[in-house]
Amino acid sequence: MSWTVMGSLGAVSARERAMRTLHDDQAGALYTYVLRLLNGDRHKAEDIVQEALLRCWRTQDLTGGQPLRPWLFRVARNLVIDEYRTRKTRPQEVNGNTWLEDLLTRPDDVDWLLSSILLKEAFKELSAHHREALYETYFSGRSMREAGEILGVPSGTVKSRVHHAVRALRLAMGVDGGAGDEAGRRVHHLTAV
């Protein structure tokens, strides 16, 4: 962090010397305090500290000898609260380029339609045992135990078949299976419907 010295280097009046001393003594601690309140936003923290020191210079008796630290910290805290409230009442500011990125990355009905067609084709490639296991668990909403009773196999076998069937579907659709993967969510959504 780089602080610029307030006032001139040759501060001559007692008020100017007092402000320089106040800045030197309190600015670092005040900045650290405000930075914590703002969750690490350095630019806003610098603005808040500057505004608090400016208000101190305008309104307080700097040469009176009274401690100004509590007043400064309270003013900085109030400025942080005011900034937060102002931000919450205004509409969210948007970067000029984000709308295009959002538009291009947002899935639409065409994506869902293409995914469902791919899923249907991939579903046809599964073995009969895998299709039955998926049908009984995902589409019918049965537990592994219930599906096992209906299919006449142990629940562990149903679980294994479902696992391998979903893996085969992911491979057929070109999904790597990573968490947070949009295509993976589509496979899961489409198989869960």
Question: Which residue from 148, 190, 156, 157 is spatially nearest to 173, judged by alpha carbons?
Answer: 190
pLDDT for residue 153 is more than 90: yes
**Average pLDDT along the chain:** 77
Output the pTM of the full model.
0.42
Give the residue with greater pLDDT, 75 vs 62: 75
Average pLDDT in the 110-124 region?
78
pLDDT for residue 126 is more than 70: yes
Give 78-92 pLDDT, tens digit per residue. Answer: 999 988 888 888 776
Average pLDDT in the 101-113 region?
65
Average pLDDT in the 48-61 region?
84
For the chain, the first-to-last Cα distance in angstroms comes to 54
91, two tokens: 């509409």
Give 123-139 as a DSSP string: HHHS-HHHHHHHIIIII
The per-residue pLDDT for 139 is 83
pLDDT for residue 179 is more than 80: no
